[in-house]
Chain A
C-alpha cells in the first residue's frame, strides 16, 4: 500500500484559549529558548465599553505555510520545508542575513544574537518524529490546540475542519498559512 505523504498542521480553537501562557513556557522548556525570545505567543484583543466588554485570546506561532516566503527568499536554503510541511531552519547553513525574518508576514521568526542564526517554531519536529505531538499541544489545559495530518482523511484535523468553520490569518499575504483557527 502506498504510504501517503503526511502534511502536518495545527488547529486552534481560540474560544478555549484562556491566555494561561502554558504553551509559551512549555515551548521554552522543550526547545531551550532563552527568555529574550519566544517561538510562540498569545495575541490579545480587548474590546467594548463598560459594562459591555469582550476579550479574546489567540495563540500564534509559525504557520508552516504551503508557500512559505521565508523558504523562498533564503539565499542558502537553510530555511527549508520538510515533505511533511514543517518549515525548519538548518543551523549549519544559516548565515544570519535575516531576510526570512523580514519576509515572514507573521513575524514568527527571530534572530538569536547569541548563536548568529534565525530560529522559530518547528512544531517540535524532534517530538513529532518520535510520534509525539508538539509540546504546546500536549501541555494546553484547554486542549485548544489540535495537531494532526491534513492528508489523513480519517484524522482529527479533517474531521473538525469538515464540521466547523475556520479562518487563517493574513491570507492576503499569499503564503498559504496552515494554522486553522476555528470560528
Chain B
C-alpha cells in the first residue's frame, strides 16, 4: 500500500482475506501495520477495481471502455507499439513506472524492446537528496534515528509521511525524550507538535540556516577535527566559504532567531556523533534543492556522525541470486530527456521526468509516440497536469498496467489489469538499510478477477513483439534463482514460512571507518568540497540564493502528507477516504481575513497553469505566506467515485520547475492567487 512494504500476515477464512496483521519478524517494519496497510484488503475487494482488460471506445478521457480478452489486448498493444517502432524507432516509446516488486519485468520489456526511455519516480521525489548525499559520501546512507540524540529536520514530516523504520524510531526517541528534535517547516504538522522546537522557517531558506550552523560550528572549532582530518576532503575551502554566513544574516533570511541558531549549532556539535541533520525523503521542493541537501550532508560530515551509532549509516545489503535470462543489446538511441547533457551528474537510469515531458512535447531530440505506464499515475501526479494531458494527446498509443482506474488509465487506449499484491507471487526483494531484511511476497488468495501479474503481462506482450526469448521463465524459476544465494539450508521454505529472512549481525557501525575504505567520490574521501561538481560547472560548495518570494496577493503552494493516505492512489479507498473525504486549501487566518474567506468557504485557486476550486480550511497551522493542499483529490477518473471531481488536484496548479543539478521536480515554486467564489 506504499513504498515501505511492511510485512503482514493475512488471516484468510474461506478464501476471503479478513485481516492483515503485522509480521513481527521484519525489523524494518517494526511489528506494526499503519492505516494504509490495514486497509489493504479493501484494495482487493474494491468493486470498482480493474477486473479485465479494457480497450477504449470513444475519445480519450470519455471513459468509454469495452472489455477485451487478454489476447486481444496484447495483440492491440503490441501492434501499436510495433507501429511506433517501425516509424520512429524503439526510442519512440516511453516506459514509465513506479517502484514495485514486479517493476523489473516492465523495465526489462522496455529495454528488450530497445527503448532508452525509462522514467521512474525519483525525479519527482528524492533525486536531489540522493544525488547530494552520493556526491558527498559516495552513497546514500540511512539515519539511525533509534539512537540519534539530536535531530534536525527540514520538513520531512516523518510522523505523517510514514517511512520505515524512521517514523517509528523517531516517534519512540522523541516521545521518550531520548532525542531532541528540532523541526523546520512552514506548516505546523504532527511532527511539529511533537518536536522540542519548531520553527516556521521561511520557505526555501533552509540552506541559509545550514550555512549559519556551519559558520558557528567551524568558527567555534566545535567540529570533529579528527574525523574531518582522516576522512574528509576540502575542509579548508569549506571553512573559508562559510565565513560570511553569520547567524544574524541567517535570521534575516530564515526568520529563525540568531541566538537560537547559535544555540542549536552548539547543541548539534555537542551531540557529536549522535547529532544528525536528517536528509529527508521527498526533496522535490526548490530549484536549488540539491545544494541545500549538499549543505546538510556537509554539516553531517563535519560532526563525524558517519557510520556511527546514532548517526548516518551506509546501507547494508544482502546478496541475492539472479535469474540469468538472455541479455539484450543496449538501446542505440540516447534518452529523450538528454540527461547526460542536461543533468550530467544525475542518475541516468531515472532521468528527469519533467525535462523529459518538455522534450516530448517539443518533439525534440526526436518524437516519442507511445507511452506504456506501470503502477504510475502521471496525470494525477506530475505537476502541471495540462502538460501531461497534452503529452497524452500527442501519443499514438497509451497503455496502462494498473490495479484501479487511475487518472492516467482513464486516458489510456488499453488497460491491463494487474493482480494486487495479495494475489500474486513477486520476486524476492532486499530492503537495504541499517537493519537489512529479505522479504518474500506470496499470494494469500487466488486472483479475484481476470487479472495478471506484470510478468505475465510482459510475457504476453513479449510474445507478440518477438521478445519471448528474454522472458522464457516463470516467476517460480526467478524466485528460486534469487533464493539460492541466501545463506540458509532451505531458503525458499524459510521464506514461505516466515515471510522474511533477517541476516544476522545488524546493525553494523563503522564498517567504512578504516584506512582501507575508499569512498566512491572524486577524492576517495568524503567530499566536503566537491571537485566533481566544480568540473560539471556547479557550485562545489553550496551557494545560497535567496528564493523567489510570492508577489503581493499570492501565496506559495506547498505540499505534504497525511498518515492515512499514500499520495494519490489510496484516496478512493473507503476505509481511508472516511478520514478526509475531500481536500481543502489551508489558509492562515490573517490571509483568510484579508480575502474575506471563512472556514469551509468555496474558493478559487489559480496559478500560471491552471485554476481549481475547493473549500478553504482556515487554520493557524501554516505560515501566512503559504497555502497547502493534500494530494490525490479532484480526480478525473469517474471510477474513483469517492474522489472524482471532489476537492481539487494540486497538479493542476503546480508549475513546471526542476532542480538545476539533479533534474528533480521543484514542486514548491508555484505561487497561487486565491479568491472567494
Instruction: Identify the A interface with B (CB < 8 A).
Output: 13, 15-16, 18-22, 24-26, 28-30, 35, 46, 48-51, 53-57, 135, 138-143
Q: Are A19 and B190 in contact (CB under 8 A)?
A: yes
B7 to chain A, nearest CB (A): 13
When distances are taken between beta carbons in the complex, the residues of chain A under 8 Å from B162 are 20, 141
Residues of chain A lying within 8 A (CB to CB) of residue B175: 13, 15-16, 142
Are A22 and B193 within 8 A (Cβ)? no
- Residue contact B575 to A25, C-beta cutoff 8 Å: yes
Asked whether A16 lies within 8 Å of B35 as measured between CB atoms, the reply is no
A143 cross-chain contacts in B, Cβ below 8 A: 32, 168, 172
Shortest Cβ gap from B518 to chain A (Å) = 39
Q: With both chains docked as a complex, state the minimum distance between the C-beta of B257 and any C-beta of chain A, in angstroms.
A: 12
Distance in Å: Cβ of B565 to nearest Cβ of chain A: 10
B560 to A: closest C-beta gap in Å: 14
Q: Are A139 and B620 in contact (CB under 8 A)?
A: no
* CB pair A50 B171 closer than 8 Å: no
Contacts of A46 on B, CB cut-off 8 Å?
Answer: 621
Q: Is A140 touching B621 in the complex (CB atoms < 8 A)?
A: no
**Which B residues touch A56, using CB under 8 A?**
193
CB-CB nearest in chain B for A54? B193
Cross-chain contact of A51 among B37, B200, B563 (Cβ < 8 A): B200
**In contact, B171 and A25 (Cβ under 8 angstroms):** no
Interface size, B (range): 35 or more
Residues of A within 8 A of B22 (CB): 138-139
In Å, the complex CA distance between A30 and B21 comes to 9
Are B579 and A21 in contact, with the CB atoms below 8 A?
yes
**A24–B563 CA distance with the chains assembled, in angstroms:** 13
- Chain A residue with Cβ nearest B577: A35
Q: Which residues of B contact A25 (CB under 8 A)?
A: 35, 38-39, 564, 575-576
Chain A interface secondary structure, helix, strand, loop or mixed? mixed
Q: Which residues of B contact A21 (CB under 8 A)?
A: 35, 563-564, 576, 579
Which residues of chain B come closer than 8 Å to A142, judged between CB atoms?
A: 168, 171-172, 175
Q: Apart from A138-B31, A142-B175, what 12 extra A-B contacts exist at CB < 8 Å?
A: A16-B171, A18-B563, A20-B159, A22-B33, A35-B575, A49-B620, A50-B588, A51-B200, A55-B190, A138-B32, A139-B34, A140-B32
CB distance from B641 to the nearest CB of A (A): 14
Chain A nearest CB, measured from B76 CB (Å): 39
Q: Which of A15, A19, A57, A135 contacts B19 (CB 8 A)?
A: A135
Give the residues in chain A near B579, CB-CB below 8 Å. Answer: 21, 24
Q: Which residues of B contact A135 (CB under 8 A)?
A: 19, 21
The residues of B with any CB-CB pair to A shorter than 8 Å are 18-22, 30-35, 37-39, 41, 159-160, 162, 167-168, 171-172, 175, 188, 190, 192-194, 198, 200, 563-564, 574-576, 578-579, 588-589, 620-621
How far, in angstroms, from A135 to B19 measured CA to CA in the complex?
Answer: 10
Q: Which residues of B contact A20 (CB under 8 A)?
A: 34-35, 159-160, 162, 563-564
Chain A residue nearest in CB terms to B20: A29
A141–B167 touching, CB < 8 Å: yes
CB distance from B42 to the nearest CB of A (A): 9
Min distance, Cβ A29 to any Cβ of chain B, angstroms: 5
Contact between chains at B188 and A141 (CB < 8 Å): no
Residue in B closest to A142 when the chains form the complex, CB atoms: B171
Q: Is the CB of A18 within 8 A of B38?
A: no
- Residues of A within 8 Å of B21, CB to CB, are 135, 138-139
Q: Which residue of B lies closest to A19 (CB)?
A: B190
Residue of A nearest to B579 (CB): A21
Among candidates B20, B32, B578, B589, residue contacting A141 with C-beta atoms closer than 8 Å = B32
Look across to chain B and name the residue whose beta carbon is closest to the beta carbon of A14: B175
With known contacts A29-B41, A56-B193, A22–B620 Cβ distance under 8 A: no
Nearest neighbor of A16 in chain B, beta-carbon distance: B175
A24 to B30, CA, bound (A): 19
* A139 to B563 alpha-carbon distance, docked (Å): 14
B200 contacts which chain A residues (CB < 8 A)?
A: 51
12 A-B residue pairings within 8 Å (CB atoms): A20-B563, A21-B563, A24-B35, A25-B38, A29-B39, A30-B18, A139-B33, A139-B38, A141-B34, A141-B162, A142-B175, A143-B32
Q: Which residues of B contact A139 (CB under 8 A)?
A: 21-22, 32-34, 37-38
Tell me whether B620 and A53 are in contact (CB under 8 A).
Answer: yes
Of A13, A25, A54, A142, chain B has the most CB atoms within 10 Å of the CB of: A25
- Complex: A48 Cα to B192 Cα, angstroms: 13
CB neighbours (8 Å) of A55 from chain B are: 188, 190, 192-193, 621
* Chain A, residue nearest B168 (CB): A141
Cross-chain contact B171 with A141 (CB below 8 angstroms): yes
Contacts of A19 in B (CB 8 A): 190, 563
Q: Pick from B188, B194, B578, B621: contact of A18, CB below 8 A.
A: B194
Name the A residues within 8 Å of B192 (CB-CB).
Answer: 53, 55
Chain A residues within 8 Å of B41, by CB:
29
Q: Which residues of A lie under 8 Å from residue B589 when comparing CB positions?
A: 50
Chain B residues lying within 8 Å of A24, measured Cβ to Cβ, are 35, 579
Q: Is the CB of A18 within 8 A of B620?
A: no
A-chain residues with CB within 8 Å of residue B39 when the two chains form the complex? 25, 29
Q: Which of B19, B563, B564 has the most CB of A within 10 A?
A: B19
Cα–Cα, bound, A140→B6 (Å): 13
A36 to chain B, nearest CB (A): 9
